[in-house]
Structure 1
């Protein structure tokens, strides 16, 4: 009996031990499974976060891009509205508050990030910006340029750089930001593009509006109701008599050099003296250069043909391998013939009047050669006058004297007036 009771107790203890072991194993398994889930979730969050960071860096992630992509208007204007700015600031503030574990960037890195923006802002000052063109009245003959309300007539200067086909308008008392939001409108058929830049040459506030034109134009302006109206006209619409004077060489192209003198300097000095005389007449004269610049041959030709001038006269200085040769000669284009008055007639009158004025020697007329590109390419009466030879010491001395240059200028002007008198 006692033995049976002992066996029964042992059996119950064994069963209890098994049940306890099973319960313990179940608890351990349960805890292990819950922890595995937690670790998996954290790992997945880290992976997702890494993928987002990579997608932002590499431009991937269509969903992320679509959310932050600007609409068409903001792309065109490059601006963020005040409401959007406040919203972005609120989002950033909320992120900083909720992410308590986020580390602040080191101060040095923050300064490094801000520095390029500051430098970029300084570089932007004084830079060019394209003018905004808008549609205007289709039947308008004027280009309309808006002006600040305080702008007066004396604050505006208009300059015509016809060699560059550019009209430049200086507007005082205004910042370039004014033309970032105000539109140029009206008749823009003659304008290829427009640029606004700070007028750094002026001591006071102001901008320079530069308009690239399709051809050589003259202009008329009207100031009315805080708008400047500009109309473009062909030279022939404004002037009855038009002449193009072309001092040869310029810049790094010195031309013939002998006896301490250069062709580029002498031709320019003579052209300036011609200008002094013709400024007092009713003849409109275009000059290819009035300084030590060197316009390309194509530009010189373009000016003559674009203005449809009555005549083109090039001022040159000659040189010869024979130092005993001296005198004046003229060059003409034999391929371009106009009945009545053409290049040959212009060359003849030009040589005659210059030689008479300087009481010098005529070497005769010569046909344009291959190197005489301008004379051969211009489609109006054109001639070049070589006013003397630098290789002749006696003539070189005369060419360097101002009073002799004055006489040459007189001869050129006399030739021009003689042409108009014959008409």
Structure 2
């Protein structure tokens, strides 16, 4: 009987230890989520996997031999694009979306045997369109960075084509979030019918130029992972608003 009591005491002590450890772990995770996870949303319904059943295609612009724009300090666009896209992917997946990415590493989608920069670029774009279409994506977002000879311009801007009537709404909602959260632009969403990806995709699509690498101050921001997360969170919020059925001009 005495042995049995000892076993019970030991077992209860073990259980108590487990409960304490589990409680501490849950408390730590709660702090982590509140600190690092998705920004607070306006309604409780957003906490119930609002993007469940949606397939969202993300495109980190450039890759491989095509580095895109480059800052004076040597910051390369293709790398920043991919970093922001990864953050956006995480936000979308946590909201229940199935996410497909045109690239997850530093490469293009052209065949390894295709020679010449222009030929590879052309094949790469065609392969991206094919990949996104084959995955039956409900929405497409392409991430890029801007650059011009002057260092005076800065700020994010979202572009869309007229190939889908919903493109304007999607781009405007994303641009509104970028304006409200980044506080560095007064730009509005703008049509861009010459962009190969946008004009050849049938689903709602937008291209986000998240800033100017030609602007030294903005280039420094782009190198900061916390700023990349902020950009991604803004795009994510715009996507949430789009799938909630919000129309442009409505709160």
Q: Could you state the TM-score of these two structures normalised by the residue count of structure 2?
A: 0.68
Counterpart in 2 of 1:352?
176
- 2:200 pairs, out of 377, 382, 387, with 377
**Equivalent of 1:392 in 195, 215, 220:** 215
User: Is the CA contact (8 Å cut-off) linking 1:354 and 1:410 kept in structure 2?
Assistant: no
| Aligned residue in 1 for 2:240 | 417
Which residue among 144, 166, 169 is the counterpart of 1:316?
Answer: 144
The structure 1 segments of at least 4 consecutive aligned residues displaced by more than 3 Å after TM superposition are none
Question: In the alignment, which residue of structure 2 is the partner of 1:263?
Answer: 77
Shift of 1:369: 4.5
Asked whether 1:306 is paired with 2:134, we answer yes
Q: For the residues of structure 1 that align with 2:167 and 2:105, how far apart are their CA atoms?
A: 27
Residues 317-346 of structure 1: CA distance to partner in whole angstroms, max 9, x if unpaired? 001222101111111112x133xxx11111
Task: Give the 3-state SS of the residue equivalent to 1:363 in structure 2.
Answer: coil
Measure, in 2, the Cα distance between the counterparts of 1:376 and 1:279. Answer: 26
Distance change in 2, residues 1:362/1:293 (3 Å): farther
- Deviation of 1:364 after TM superposition, in Å, equals 2.3
**Whole-Å Cα distance in 2 between the matches of residues 419 and 304 of structure 1?**
19
Question: Paired residues, what number?
Answer: 180
SS at match of 1:375: helix
How far residue 386 of structure 1 moved from its aligned partner, in angstroms, is 0.2
Task: Look up the SS of the partner of 1:273 in the other structure.
Answer: helix
Q: What stretches of structure 1 of length at least 5 have no aligned partner?
A: 1-238
Structure 2 unmatched ranges of 5 or more? 1-51, 110-123, 247-251
Pick one of 97, 110, 128 that aligns with 1:283: 97
Identify the structure with bigger relative contact order (alpha carbons < 8 Å, sequence gap 6+): 2
CA contact (8 A) 2:144 2:208 kept: yes
Cα deviation digits, residues 191-249 of structure 1 (max 9, x gap): xxxxxxxxxxxxxxxxxxxxxxxxxxxxxxxxxxxxxxxxxxxxxxxx72111110100
Equivalent of residue 54 in structure 2, options 228, 241, 251: 241
Root mean square deviation of aligned Cα: 1.6
Structure 1 position 277, deviation (Å): 1.9
The Cα of 1:403 is off from its aligned counterpart by 0.9
Q: Which has the higher strand share?
A: 1
Residue 356 of structure 1 aligns to a residue whose secondary structure is helix
Give the deviation of 1:359 after TM superposition: 2.2
Structure 2 contact 151–215 (Cα < 8 Å) conserved? yes
Output the CA distance in 1 between the equivalents of 2:161 and 2:193: 9
C-alpha deviation, 1:354, in angstroms: 2.2
Does structure 1 conserve the Cα–Cα contact (< 8 Å) formed by 2:58 and 2:89? Answer: no
Alpha carbons 1:328, 1:363 under 8 Å: kept = yes
- 3-state SS of the aligned residue for 1:279? helix
Deviations 1:147-201 (A, max 9, x none): xxxxxxxxxxxxxxxxxxxxxxxxxxxxxxxxxxxxxxxxxxxxxxxxxxxxxxx
Deviation, 1:417, is 1.3
- Contact map agreement 2:83 2:228 (CA 8 A) in 1: yes
* Structure-1 separation of matches of 2:176 and 2:92: 19
* 2:63 corresponds to 1:250: yes
Matched residue, 2:164: 337
Name the CA distance, whole Å, in 1 between partners of 2:203 and 2:186. Answer: 24
Verify the 8 A CA contact 1:246 1:313 in the aligned structure 2.
yes
Q: In the alignment, what sits opposite 1:79?
A: none
